[in-house]
Chains A and B, each alone.
Chain A
Amino acid sequence: MLFGGIDIGSRSIELVVIDENGEQVQSLKADTGFDPMSEADKMIESTRFDQIMATGYGRNLFEVSFDAPTVTEIKAHATAAFHLHNDSYTILDIGGQDSKAIALYETGKIKKFEMNDRCAAGTGKFLEIMAKNLGFSIEDFGDQALLAEKEINISSMCTVFAESEVTSLIGRGESPREIAKGLHDSVVRRAAGMINRVSSGGKIVFTGGVAKNSCMVKMLEKRLEREIVIPENPQFMGALGAALLCRAANTEKS
């Protein structure tokens, strides 16, 4: 039997298919776009699985359209992270629209979690908008920030206010790399705050698209003085978690 997991996020949709042993047999990714259900439909058409479970902010839409069970992003990320790194009990997930810190018991069960407020502060979307303002590609944003030679403090956490703060820094003649580093630092401070509220030590598994940003990882490690583990495909962790939970639900039944 094959088990699917689909993560319908604000920026992208990921689909992962695993076999009965939990081995990944397929993974797909697409932009969410304006019509997430038709995107999801296309992805489902091009894969093969027997059962599927949905997660991400679009999960309830998927549940209605495809009559599939759902799980929250929090449990999905926690499940996938613990599956791949069962000696880590803290997870940080920074996605397009929200960020969360999760603490686990040694059994992998969720002990506590924190989620960002309703705005885009400290999320992938924040970094994406700022990269664009500074003329960097999102893939390159972290590497460029690491080349900064001095520290700039960006105090605004709000995407809208930070944008105007960045404009005034540009006007003052600050270099884009330094501003970029300041922006990363503001996201790191927020993420570290969330982590500290749920757990005080041990390795951290960093998931979600922002985990691919080298500057975020380095600065977080430095700030928290804790080891950070990045899974091979951090963006697929939500989908993998849903697939693993789908497998577990169906194994329990039979």
Chain B
Amino acid sequence: MSTDYRQMWADMGLDLEAHDALLGVLGQGYGDIYMAQKNRPEGMAYFDFVMSEVHGLRIQELLDEKKAGRKIIGSYCVFVPEEIALAANATLVGLCSGADFAMEEVEKLLPRNTCALIKSAFGFKLGKVCPYLESADMIVGENTCDGKKKAYESLGSLIENLYVMDLPQVKSAQGRELLKAEYIRFKEAVENLTGVTITAESLSAAIETVNAKRKAMHRLALLRKADPAPISGLDALLANQVFFYDNPARFTASVNKICDEVEQRIAAQEGVFAGKTPRILISGCPQAVPNWKLPMIVEGSGAVIVGEESCVGERGTRNLTDNSGKTIDEMIEALVDRYFQVDCAIFTPNKERIDHIKEMAKLYKADGVIHYGLQFCQPYLMEAIPVEKALEDIGLPCLRIETDYSMEDMGQLKTRVEAFIEQIS
């Protein structure tokens, strides 16, 4: 990192020693996994910079925003609408949950057989190593899976400003009503926090900002149809991960710049890997920073990832919000319409997800699908079986894997992934 942020971290109450260790591992991992890649688009330099300053400059920016009177809201889920935060002059950031930390402390509060993502969220709090969490004025939890739902009850004892959003589990009229009621309740909570009343103008502008961000991701996603693949799955995943942290307007501009470059690459038939490299779609649980384990194995074994059917991926960014409404009510309806389509595995039934996987596999010309399941994540592990069946029915090979954030199963995973690549080549 270019500047010394130690005082800033100390002032936020971070455990400097533990935080140094975390940044050491993160820097090393990023170097080994990301910087070692060949033929990356030059525009990725922006993301390299963002990652090198992920706990530095970006936090400094957030603290500056706070000084200027803006509020910071932290979230763990794509159901928390960024539009509402922005409209009330608040900034929404995704919180750290992609690495194991302070596991002994975590297991005092959570059973061992809790998924790595939930444990990680606790680990970052208990280990005092997440500056996003510490800078947030409000933390939003949400009733998605049973694991998260119950974990927030315990997290509430560690975090004073935890707000829990309820979510429907069925895509019914009643379910939609619940989501709408919760978004209205959230709007009021955010307005209370910021002291800013959301207006039709501010909400419309926020919808525009977030739509632009999603549109840039849609553009990048579609460019990945090309063969040879113009951008690696690792780099595209990184863009999807930074989506949750960065200043929205700057992020949008940076992604669009990469897209311009990627378009030129496609025109020149240039790629990060040779043409006809086996193409894989990843589907399943979210891969939060710095969880790059699976794409690292896949792309290190001679295949390329062409899409992520994931919350950190297309499930999270799919669909724009209709911004033609004139009143706040109309815009809230439009937001509910947009978010209610997210096909998270907590919904039952959830057939849309299978349709989307098939659609994405076809669109991005995937030769096979790897279903990524986090150990103990019941909703996705359960859906993995019908997903595999549905894909086999259309003759598309599927590999189901179940793993966590540890590195102890790397050898086994590598063998499975390599054999799958041999199978689809």
Contacts and interface: CB of A to CB of B under 8 A. Distances in A.
Interface stretch (A24-32, A72-80, A138-146, A180-188): A72-80
B412 interface: yes
B415 A72 contact: yes
A111 B392 CA distance: 10
A163 to B, nearest CB: 21
Interface string A97-122: 01000000000011111010110000
Contacts of A60: 414
A74 B397 CA distance: 15
A118 B409 contact: yes
A117 B409 CA distance: 9
A105 to B, nearest CB: 10
Interface in B360-414: 392, 397, 402, 408-409, 411-412, 414
B418 interface: yes
Contacts of B412: 98, 115, 117-118
Contact of A115 (B392, B397, B415, B422): B415
A74 B419 CA distance: 6
Contact of A74 (B392, B408, B409, B422): B422
Given A72-B422, A75-B422, A110-B422, A115 B416 contact: yes
Nearest to B424: A110
B423 interface: yes
Interface in B271-326: none
Given A112-B397, A113-B423, A72 B418 contact: yes
A113 B409 CA distance: 18
Nearest to B423: A110
Nearest to B400: A114
A117 B408 CA distance: 12
Contacts of B397: 111-112
A98 B419 CA distance: 14
A60 B411 CA distance: 10
Contact of B415 (A74, A111, A117): A74
A49 interface: no
A110 B419 contact: yes
Contacts of A72: 415, 418-419, 422
Nearest to B406: A118
A62 to B, nearest CB: 14
A136 interface: no
B60 to A, nearest CB: 41
Contacts of B419: 72-75, 110, 113, 115
Nearest to B392: A112
Main secondary structure of the interface of A (DSSP, over half): mixed
Interface size class on chain B is 10 to 19
Contacts of A117: 402, 412
A93 B423 CA distance: 17
Interface string A79-98: 00000000000000000001
A204 interface: no
B422 A57 contact: no
A71 B419 CA distance: 8
A110 B421 CA distance: 11
Contact of B411 (A57, A71, A112): A57
B422 A71 contact: yes
Contacts of A73: 415, 419
A118 B422 contact: no
Contacts of A113: 419, 423
Give the residue among A71, A74, A98, A117 with the most B Cβ atoms within 10 A: A74
A229 to B, nearest CB: 22
Nearest to A75: B422
A45 B415 CA distance: 28
Contacts of B423: 75, 109-113
B363 to A, nearest CB: 24
B408 A118 contact: yes
A191 to B, nearest CB: 17
A121 B408 CA distance: 16
Contacts of B415: 57, 72-74, 98, 115
A75 B422 CA distance: 7
A53 to B, nearest CB: 13
Nearest to A116: B412
Nearest to A98: B412
Interface in A40-56: none
Nearest to A56: B415
A117 B392 CA distance: 22
B152 to A, nearest CB: 30
Nearest to B417: A72
Nearest to B422: A75
Contacts of A74: 415, 419, 422
A60 B392 CA distance: 31
Nearest to B397: A112
A199 to B, nearest CB: 12
A74 B392 CA distance: 20
Give the residue among A98, A109, A111, A113 with the most B Cβ atoms within 10 A: A113
Contacts of B418: 72
B107 to A, nearest CB: 19
A111 B391 CA distance: 13
A165 B145 CA distance: 35
A110 B397 CA distance: 10
A55 to B, nearest CB: 10
A73 B392 CA distance: 23
Contacts of A118: 408-409, 412
A98 B411 CA distance: 11
Interface of A: 57, 60, 71-75, 98, 109-113, 115, 117-118
Given A57-B415, A71-B422, A111-B397, 4 more contacts: A73-B419, A74-B419, A98-B412, A118-B409
9 contacts: A57-B415, A75-B422, A98-B412, A110-B422, A111-B397, A111-B423, A113-B423, A115-B412, A117-B402
Interface of B: 392, 397, 402, 408-409, 411-412, 414-416, 418-419, 422-423
Q: Which 9 A-B pairs have the closest CB atoms?
A: A74-B419, A72-B419, A110-B423, A118-B409, A75-B422, A72-B418, A118-B412, A72-B415, A115-B416
